[in-house]
């Protein structure tokens, strides 16, 4: 079976500033990979480039399930199996989550029985109460993140990118979100989780941890790599590798929708 996500030589530039610098990354189906890195390392830019946010000059390759997605419009990328859970999920007043999933079901071309998936995922992720409420309306931060993961569990993309899914959550909510991520995992989905901290990793079983600094993956290893970062910090690793961080010329927040 092809790899869920295979990124090779990926560069991204805004004007004269190069943000991603020949990034290589592979996430096999069924695996959970984690990218950790300081602010300005290029993590958000990687999310934006994978999903097709305008404004970047991009070269290289990003294959999803064996199909190139760079150059495709956002809707085509979604159909090819790219999905992102945002750091700050957007509320959609007047549209229930059930209605959103029904609309998504109408767009599917793979014959998937989304009704059965909704019932199964709602049970596994305790997400039933979300279905008849407006999308992310009146939900706590942790509930919004769980709702995002529930949607991914129903849609079953080839690669699910979780952009700082633990941001702004208290200890209990981090644990609940991590449990939802584990419940979502299956052999047909690759998961790429992006985070600053290792606290969510206490409740997850990642296959591999990658450290991104200055637009490149500079170190990869098992879960123990997150513990090493906890001990020495990014500054310590940068000093060890002789690297310096460069600031991204774009916001770190979820400005993706605003750019479409």
- What pLDDT does 211 receive? 94
Number of domains in the chain: 1
> Largest Cα–Cα distance in the chain?
53
Average pLDDT by stretches of 10, the chain with 260 residues: 90 94 96 92 92 94 96 92 87 90 69 75 84 88 88 90 88 89 92 90 94 92 89 83 56 47
Edge-to-edge strands of the sheet including 5-14? 17-27, 5-14, 57-64, 67-68
Closest CA to 150 of 172, 165, 170, 171: 165
Q: Which residues contact 209 (CB under 8 A, 6 or more apart)?
A: 33, 34, 36, 201, 220, 221, 222, 223, 225, 226
- What pLDDT does 29 receive? 96
Considering the domain boundaries, does residue 201 fall inside one? Answer: yes
Considering the domain boundaries, does residue 238 fall inside one? Answer: yes
* Host domain of residue 192: 5-83+158-259
Query: Is the Cα dihedral 5, 65, 259, 181 positive or negative?
Result: negative
- What pLDDT does 52 receive? 93
- What pLDDT does 248 receive? 45
Considering the domain boundaries, does residue 196 fall inside one? Answer: yes
Considering the domain boundaries, does residue 124 fall inside one? Answer: no
CATH of the domain at 172: 3.40.50.300
Whole-prediction pTM: 0.87
The two three-digit tokens of residue 88, written as one number:
């700050």
Strand-pair partners of 208: 33
CA distance 79 to 106: 12
190-195 vs 32-36, strand pairing mode: parallel
Considering the domain boundaries, does residue 89 fall inside one? Answer: no
Considering the domain boundaries, does residue 92 fall inside one? Answer: no
> For residue 186, how many other CB atoms are within 10 A of its CB?
11
Considering the domain boundaries, does residue 236 fall inside one? Answer: yes
Considering the domain boundaries, does residue 229 fall inside one? Answer: yes
CA distance 230 to 225: 9
């Amino acid at each position: 079976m092809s790899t869920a996500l295979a990124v090779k030589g990926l560069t991204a530039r805004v004007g004269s500033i190069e943000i991603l610098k020949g990034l290589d990354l592979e996430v096999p189906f069924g695996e959970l990979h984690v990218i950790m890195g300081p602010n300005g390392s290029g993590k958000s830019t990687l999310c934006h480039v994978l999903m097709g946010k305008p404004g970047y000059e991009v070269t290289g390759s990003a294959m999803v399930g064996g199909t190139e997605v760079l150059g495709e419009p956002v809707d085509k990328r979604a159909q090819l199996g790219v999905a992102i859970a945002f750091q700050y999920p957007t509320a959609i007043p007047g549209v229930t989550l059930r209605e959103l999933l029904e609309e998504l079901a109408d767009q599917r071309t793979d014959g998937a029985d989304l009704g059965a998936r909704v019932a199964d995922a709602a049970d596994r992720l305790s997400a039933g109460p979300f279905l008849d409420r407006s999308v992310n309306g009146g939900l706590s931060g942790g509930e919004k993140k769980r709702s995002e993961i529930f949607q991914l569990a129903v849609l079953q993309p080839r690669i699910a990118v979780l952009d700082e899914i633990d941001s702004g959550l208290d200890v209990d909510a981090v644990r609940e979100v991590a449990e939802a991520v584990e419940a979502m995992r299956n052999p047909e989905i690759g998961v790429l989780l992006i985070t600053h901290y290792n606290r969510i990793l206490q409740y997850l079983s990642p296959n591999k941890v990658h450290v991104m600094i200055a637009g490149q993956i500079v170190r990869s290893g098992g879960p123990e790599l997150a513990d090493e970062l906890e001990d020495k910090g990014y500054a310590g690793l940068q000093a060890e590798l002789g690297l310096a961080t460069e600031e991204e010329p774009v916001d770190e927040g979820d400005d993706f929708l605003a750019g479409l």
